[in-house]
Amino acid sequence: MRGLGADHALNSKTVKVADAIQELTAKKGAEVVFDTTGMMFSEGVEMAAMEGRIPVITAPKDGGASFNLRSLYRKALRIQGIDSLRLSAAECAA
């Protein structure tokens, strides 16, 4: 993953991601939380750093997400929906 530009990559099946993020960032949180399943959105909001970014490319089957709205605005998070079905890989990355 480092060869692709990531400082760290975590597998949610082998580690408790929220705890690992806290440890890796000295409790600051992640600048970018990229959840490719939509199943960890709520946790992503909590793991994000102040003024962090959360790109969204998919959603759970029912399309719903429940999260702490207070964490969203107190951290001044930026959430961006990206329709990966209508964009190329390069356009999605930008």
CA separation for the pair 57, 27 (Å, rounded): 26
55: domain CATH number is 3.40.50.720
The residue range of the domain holding 51 is 2-93
Look over the chain and give the mean of its residue pLDDT values, rounded to a whole number. 88
pLDDT of the residue at 2: 67
Work out the pLDDT band at 83, boundaries 50, 70, 90.
confident
Q: How many domains does the chain have?
A: 1
Tens-place pLDDT, residues 52-82? 999 998 888 888 888 999 999 999 999 998 8
Please provide the DSSP assignment of 20-49 as one string. HHHHHTTTS-EEE--BSSSTTHHHHHHHEE
| pTM across the whole model | 0.77
Q: Kindly state the DSSP code that residue 86 receives in the 8-state scheme.
A: T
